[in-house]
Structure 1
Amino acid sequence: MKNVLLYIAFLLMVMPSCQSAKEVYLFSTFREPADKGLFLAYSFDGLNWEDLGGPWLAPEVGTQKVMRDPSVVSGPDGTFHMVWTSSWRGDLGFGYASTKDFINWSPQQLIPVMDFDTSTVNVWAPELFYDQYQKEYIIIWASTIPYKFERGIEAEDNNHRMYYTTTRDFQNFSETKLFIDPKFSVIDAVIVERGIGDYVLVLKDNTRPERNLKVAFGPSPLGPYKNISEPFTGQFTEGPTLIRKDDAWYIYYDAYELKRYGLHKTTDFIHFEDVSDQVKLPEGHKHGTIFKADRRLLKNLIKANKKAK
């Protein structure tokens, strides 16, 4: 009996490493001026990234037909869903498409989430989150509706708040609602699940002179998020995305004024360590999201990228 228990303990210990050995990190990205489409990078350790080239999908929807801030999440059936910013201004929605392999894609759609108010200036950086308990996708994004919120020193056409919608099938969407109003202009928010009833929101305070990253805490993926922190990055940082690695969270972000990527490490979202010197990314890499995929998928992408060259 003792030997059986030891064997079970051994299996429990090695199963996570076996699972991770079958997976790879992929990073969705774009290249300025964002008119070419989706680019990808990959990593086995979450720190050293190799270029996978692109574009894997060229933008076809929106007023400007760009593809900025591509956010990707894998559904329970293995389908990858992607949303993106389709125009700087003028669109009342964001782009959407899905794929199983990043080679063959569904038709692109513009999801008109802000068409209830045609004075909306923009729809920026939609971010996907899969709620495993409600079995639905949550999409959050930043929009400006002039004269709707207190603005401080921000211009009326640059005073963002976060909104959200939910869907189970990307055909039917819930009514758009306000996600968070922190009483300042906010963009680039990402939902992080730490456990049941324990969520963190990483967000950009887009006000002058802040323009940095902060965190807030909530009891559900939809909040309410409170106790907004002091900034843990310097100015001119945005586009956060996270991975869980070695019992810590690694927060990637775009330090756009310095034209490089930054990386902070935390175990509690209270204390943060700058480990930017540990990360290596392809030149020109811009912010998107990190997600996991099967190594067989990566093998096919590498093969397809070589053929395209």
Structure 2
Amino acid sequence: MFAWMTIPVFSQEKEIQNDPTSKTDGYVFSYFKGNGEDGLHLAYSEDGYKWTALKNDTSFLTPEVGKDKLMRDPSIIKGGDGLYHMVWTVSWTDKGIGYSSSKDLIHWSKQEFLPVMKKKKKARNTWAPEITYDPDSEKYMIYWASTIDGEFLETKPEKEKGYNHRIYYTVTRDFKKFSKTKLLYEPGFNVIDASIVQQDQGFVMFLKDETRNPVQKNIKIAFSKELKGPYSKASDAITGNYWAEGPTAIKIGNNWIVYFDKYIEKKYGAIKETPQGWVDISEQINFPPGTRHGSVIEVSGEEIAVLKKE
């Protein structure tokens, strides 16, 4: 294990690599409501604490692809090409995910269905996809959680319909050609909701330990020098005594903040890294009612101004 992997907080790390030509004046949070039937919702914030719904909390994009035509777990990043790229969960039981791109977060390209688990005959689902851009290779890694019947039986739960996830991935340069789907992370437990950010010394994966018995249902961290791994053993839980899922992280000022869905309590939570460790700041943040599993990005003041007009 690399020495830096043992650091429980990120206080000694540099910021995520961002486009040096863009100015960050605020943040946009992508999320879904209900079961994801109406599509993409967006909220903005100037400080990362108070979030205000955009477009009167109505959908910016109605889902059109997949078995159930849902838009759950929308994950958006700004790529090396200057475009915003989004992936999402289209169904509870499909073998693919949704994809679209945008220049302004308002007008989106034709939605596509990416059949990333099509060749895995016993795959049951494709949940919570995310994208991470690797500036060194100029490629994007798309990754998600899937259960493949008959695999990793030692951790198959008796409850929750026997779902027993691991994290899988594919790599693309242009979102037209994709590498063969492979296993990304096998931590020795049922794992979903991976979200990876880049550090100057490698990559950090936030993940949900989905173990039901003995109960975990919390957020942990793993590390790697390379985007495609191998990733370290998962850390101890960094969230508290509640069920949490859908982590998304961003550095605001000198501190990392991780937002997550307290889905049992039907509200959003957050933790902040400090020199003393992770501190729960859930009571200090405010999200639009009904916000579910989403992602956070940095944006310019000009972009926020345009979004406000919608």
Q: Is the pair's TM-score, using the shorter chain for normalization, greater than 0.5? A: yes
- 3-state secondary structure, aligned to 2:206: strand
> Which residue in 2 is equivalent to 1:271?
277
> Which residue in 2 is equivalent to 1:247?
254
> Which residue in 1 is equivalent to 2:165?
160
Output the amino acid matched with 1:277.
E
Is 1:36 the equivalent of 2:38? yes
Is 1:69 the equivalent of 2:73? yes
Q: Is the 8 A contact 1:29 1:288 kept in 2?
A: yes
> In 2, Cα distance between the equivalents of 1:191 and 1:267?
20
1:232 to 228, 238, 241: 238
> In 2, Cα distance between the equivalents of 1:65 and 1:74?
24
After superposition, residues 92-131 of structure 1 pair within 5 angstroms as 92-131=95-134
Output the amino acid matched with 2:296.
I
Q: Is the 8 A contact 1:30 1:68 kept in 2?
A: yes
Shift of residue 77 of structure 1?
2.8
Which structure 2 residue ranges, 5 or more long, are not aligned?
1-17
Shift of residue 150 of structure 1?
2.8
Output the amino acid matched with 1:30.
F
> In 2, Cα distance between the equivalents of 1:267 and 1:135?
32
After superposition, residues 1-150 of structure 1 pair within 5 angstroms as 23-52=25-54, 53-89=57-93, 91-150=94-153
TM-score of the pair, normalised by structure 2: 0.87
* Deviation string, structure 1 residues 214-251 (Cα, Å, up to 9, x no partner): 11121112221113111122342100001101211101
Output the amino acid matched with 1:76.
G
* Deviation string, structure 1 residues 168-214 (Cα, Å, up to 9, x no partner): 1100111111000111110001112221x332111000011111111
* Deviation string, structure 1 residues 98-157 (Cα, Å, up to 9, x no partner): 111222211111100101112210000001111111111111100000111134351474
Aligned length: 285
Output the amino acid matched with 1:227.
K
Higher relative contact order (CA 8 A, sep 6+): 2
TM-score of the pair, normalised by structure 1: 0.88
For the pair shown, which has the larger CA radius of gyration, 1 or 2? 1
- 3-state secondary structure, aligned to 2:216: coil
After superposition, residues 191-210 of structure 1 pair within 5 angstroms as 191-195=196-200, 197-208=201-212, 209-210=215-216
Q: Is the 8 A contact 1:79 1:98 kept in 2?
A: yes
> In 2, Cα distance between the equivalents of 1:300 and 1:272?
35
Change (3 A) 1:295 1:33: same
> In 2, Cα distance between the equivalents of 1:198 and 1:130?
13
Higher helix share: 1
> In 2, Cα distance between the equivalents of 1:99 and 1:215?
30
> In 2, Cα distance between the equivalents of 1:101 and 1:237?
30
Which structure 1 residue ranges, 5 or more long, are not aligned?
1-15, 305-309
- Worse overlay, 212-221 or 149-158: 149-158
- 3-state secondary structure, aligned to 1:61: coil
> In 2, Cα distance between the equivalents of 1:105 and 1:271?
40
> In 2, Cα distance between the equivalents of 1:298 and 1:119?
43
> Which residue in 1 is equivalent to 2:193?
188
